[in-house]
Structure 1
Amino acid sequence: MNKTILKFPGSKVRVMGELSAHLPAGNRLVEPFAGSCAVMMNTDYPEYLIADINPELINLYRQVKEHTRPFIVVAMALFTQNNTEESYYEVRKEFNTNPGLPLLERAAHFLYLNRHGYRGVCRYNRRGDFNIPYGHYSAPYFPLAEIEAFAKKAQRATFECATYQETLAMVKAGDVVYCDPPYHGTFTDYHTGGFTEDDQHSLACCLLGVSETNPVVVSNSDTMFTRSIFRAFDITKITVARSVGVKAGDKKRAAEIIAVRKPENAWPVIGWDMASGPDSSVVMEVPQ
């Protein structure tokens, strides 16, 4: 499995074996919740539309895609020169209070905070300030190989800062939609506005509409609430680890669902065999 640039609670790297079995072939994978881009890095679609409401996340991915070498130089220098708790809070303060910070440097700061902050959590207060405390890691990992692999794969991708509603409005024939929203009952403060049960229900309604024309796959917590809002979907239960590189969390497990709904009527087009790559054409079903 390909690892990701960012540490991320709920990263799909560990469950790609189960998840891949539910992702059909298609011309483009659309993800309204970018997260760590684990699914993009571990699938082989011809194109990707990766979106997220967090502008810092999208800026990071754009900078890595478009300015790979300069980004590596700036980010590596930041990692090398700032390995104390005091320097972490100095970098975090500059990130939060300097609106004139160039986009390339903002992206490097975001990566630094992710890799040095507590468990890689991405969280903001109501003012929009990144507020994760120092993680006390002895040697934070600089993901050079992951950055280079991402930059190569990202040439197939378009990155958009957008709401899930705006992203789903961009879906077209031949697309496959995968949603990994903030989970019900956990990770709800991913961005400043939070993600409430009303948001969960609204998302489920939007996806139900999209599934009339395009395959939709969703991950979420396994709760009575999520099973209710996705009752029109085929649901598979899986058990996953709930830890982010911390030994104390290695044995923590949680139940999740993979909810799938595909259009009933479809017509065949030529696409990729995701297991074999771009040289292996297969017939897949796309909605009429």
Structure 2
Amino acid sequence: MKRRAFLKWAGGKYSLVEDIQRHLPPARKLVEPFVGAGSIFLNTNYDQYLLADINPDLINLYNLLKKQPNTYISEAKRWFVADNNRKEAYLSIRKQFNQSDDVMYRSLAFLYMNRFGFNGLCRYNKKGGFNVPFGSYKKPYFPEAELEFFAEKAKKATFVCQSYTETFKRARKGAVVYCDPPYAPLSTTANFTSYAGNGFSLDDQAALADVSETAAKKRGIPVLISNHDTTLTRRLYHGATLNVVKVKRTISRNGNGRNKVDELLALYSSDCN
């Protein structure tokens, strides 16, 4: 049974789970430097997980859910009421979120805004303020079963807020790394902004390819990366085995406007056993 993440997530990997499972080498531990909503974590069965992201709100939520699942879920459920499904209520909560340092409040508001905000987007302005508009949905879904499953599975996971380079340093032989970075633009004119507020540039794309190849060839840790299938990414991943998969784009609010595009799964295999 495929498990859905409790967060809506732009670029989430739910639709690619089977393809990614097929190309992930066997290992004791899965390391994810860009965990996002965690679809791969939820649909694989490793002994241990190291799951990282540079978004502190995301990682704080995951650690709270892991440590206090009953408290978090019961508190979160109270936010999913009709009175909160109004633009004025949403904007008030968003304003409080941006002014608060309280981890529990921010974690509860983060889930609320993910479900009541527009299209499940996660976006911050340059000052670090969450700025996704109200979503105007009839009755946002409270993902209780998904939260409970995540909390149970989280017992096997360590969640850390850090850069992908730091996460690679923590990977050890016996692990496999899966990278789902902010994708390279489909064209040089594409509007390319990062969901966590600091851009993932073309230089970052190249650096990730380098650190992945080094991990595989010199440290014996295989790395699988997903990205758009473009001339650029094929050049970046020239040292990897490339497989193409088709996936539907899910950002468009109009389902009819969602086209299938090619994505690459680039596997850097370990040369040393």
TM-score, with structure 2 as normaliser: 0.93
Deviations 1:79-128 (A, max 9, x none): 224111111111111111122x2x12211110111111111111111101
For structure 1, the 5+ residue unaligned runs are 267-288
Deviations 1:265-285 (A, max 9, x none): 31xxxxxxxxxxxxxxxxxxx
Determine the C-alpha separation between the residues in 2 that align with 1:247 and 1:149. 30
Determine the C-alpha separation between the residues in 1 that align with 2:90 and 2:199. 25
Report the CA distance shift for 1:158/1:187 in structure 2 as closer, same or farther (over 3 A).
Answer: farther
1:215, 1:261 within 8 Å by CA — same for their partners in 2? Answer: yes
Q: Secondary structure at the match of 1:211?
A: helix
Instruction: Tell me what 2:62 maps to.
Output: 61
Instruction: Tell me what 1:190 maps to.
Output: 195
Greater mean deviation of Cα atoms: 123-132 or 187-196: 187-196
Determine the C-alpha separation between the residues in 1 that align with 2:147 and 2:192. 25
Determine the C-alpha separation between the residues in 2 that align with 1:237 and 1:110. 34
Determine the C-alpha separation between the residues in 1 that align with 2:192 and 2:143. 24
Q: Return the letter of the residue paired with 2:105.
A: E
Q: Return the letter of the residue paired with 1:156.
A: K
Q: Secondary structure at the match of 1:146?
A: helix
Determine the C-alpha separation between the residues in 2 that align with 1:104 and 1:173. 36
Instruction: Tell me what 1:12 maps to.
Output: 13
Report the CA distance shift for 1:82/1:187 in structure 2 as closer, same or farther (over 3 A).
Answer: farther
Q: Secondary structure at the match of 1:79?
A: coil
Instruction: Tell me what 1:258 maps to.
Output: 265
TM-score, with structure 1 as normaliser: 0.88
Which of 98, 111, 116 is the matching residue for 1:96? Answer: 98
Report the CA distance shift for 1:251/1:206 in structure 2 as closer, same or farther (over 3 A).
Answer: same
Q: CA RMSD in A?
A: 1.4
Q: Return the letter of the residue paired with 2:44.
A: T
Q: Return the letter of the residue paired with 2:55.
A: N
Determine the C-alpha separation between the residues in 1 that align with 2:212 and 2:21. 19
Instruction: Tell me what 2:248 maps to.
Output: 241
Deviations 1:19-54 (A, max 9, x none): 111011111000000101000000000000000111
- Once the two structures are TM-superposed, the CA of residue 221 in structure 1 deviates from its matched residue by 0.9
**Residues 46-195 of structure 1 correspond to what in structure 2 (within 5 A)?**
46-80=47-81, 81-99=83-101, 101=102, 103-185=103-185, 188-195=193-200
Q: How many residues align?
A: 264
Q: Which runs of 4+ in 1 moved over 6 A?
A: none
Instruction: Tell me what 2:214 maps to.
Output: 209
1:29, 1:45 within 8 Å by CA — same for their partners in 2? Answer: yes
Determine the C-alpha separation between the residues in 2 that align with 1:202 and 1:249. 36
2:100, 2:106 within 8 Å by CA — same for their partners in 1? Answer: no
Q: Return the letter of the residue paired with 1:128.
A: G
Q: Return the letter of the residue paired with 2:19.
A: E
- Once the two structures are TM-superposed, the CA of residue 17 in structure 1 deviates from its matched residue by 1.3
- Once the two structures are TM-superposed, the CA of residue 187 in structure 1 deviates from its matched residue by 6.3
- Once the two structures are TM-superposed, the CA of residue 247 in structure 1 deviates from its matched residue by 4.5
- Once the two structures are TM-superposed, the CA of residue 188 in structure 1 deviates from its matched residue by 3.3
Determine the C-alpha separation between the residues in 2 that align with 1:27 and 1:129. 38
Greater mean deviation of Cα atoms: 250-259 or 47-56: 250-259
Report the CA distance shift for 1:247/1:145 in structure 2 as closer, same or farther (over 3 A).
Answer: farther
Percent identity between matched residues is 41
Determine the C-alpha separation between the residues in 1 that align with 2:251 and 2:231. 26
Determine the C-alpha separation between the residues in 1 that align with 2:13 and 2:172. 25
- Once the two structures are TM-superposed, the CA of residue 246 in structure 1 deviates from its matched residue by 4.1
For structure 2, the 5+ residue unaligned runs are 186-190
When you count helix as a share of all residues, which structure comes out higher?
2
Determine the C-alpha separation between the residues in 2 that align with 1:250 and 1:66. 40
Greater mean deviation of Cα atoms: 43-52 or 192-201: 192-201
2:32, 2:51 within 8 Å by CA — same for their partners in 1? Answer: yes
Determine the C-alpha separation between the residues in 2 that align with 1:8 and 1:114. 8
